[in-house]
Amino acid sequence: MASKKFLFMVDKLPYKAESSRLALTHAIASQTVDIHLDEDDEMEEPVIAFVGDGVLNCMKGQKALECYGVTSLEMHIKNALLTDIKVLICKEDVERLGLSEDNLIMDAEDIGADMQSEIVPFDDILQQMEKSNHILYF
C-alpha cells in the first residue's frame, strides 16, 4: 500500500491569474481521487499554504460574487476548510503586509467546518515541503 502526501502552495494574487482559485479546486478534488487509484493506495489529506503576496487570497469579506458574478476566493477557502484541508498562511507575509487574524479567513464555522486556518512561520511550510511527495506550486 502506498500513501502519498501533496502540498499545494500559492504565491499568486487572487483575481488576476486563475492560479489561486485552481489551487483550491484542485486541492478539494483530492476528495474524489480514490476512483482513479488502486485499492490499496491512499492519498493523505492535502495541505494548502499561502505564501508571499499570495496571503492576500485569505482576506475576509470578498464580494466577488456580488461585483463580478464569480465565486470569491473566500468561498473556496471556506470549502477547503469544510473538506478538512489544512490551510496554512505564512506569518512573515501576514506581518509584512500589515494584516492580522482579524482581516483573514480563520474559520468557516458559518458553513459548518471544524477545521481552522493557521498562521504559521515559513519554516513550518518548509517542513511541509519536505514531508510531501509532490509540491504543486500555483
CA distance 86 to 80: 8
Burial call 62-87: b when 16+ CB within 10 Å, e when fewer = bebeeeeeeebbbbbbbbbbebebbb
Nearer to another protein, 44 or 114 (CB): 44
- What is the 8-class DSSP label of residue 83? T
- For Cα atoms 131, 12, 113, give the angle at the middle one, nearest 5 degrees: 65
Nearer to another protein, 21 or 113 (CB): 21
Contact positions toward another protein, by CB under 8 A?
2, 4, 6, 9, 11-19, 21-22, 25-26, 29-33, 35-37, 41, 43, 51-53, 56, 59-72, 74, 76, 92-93, 96-98, 103, 122, 126, 129-130, 132-138
Nearer to another protein, 96 or 114 (CB): 96
CB of 53 to another protein, least distance (A): 6
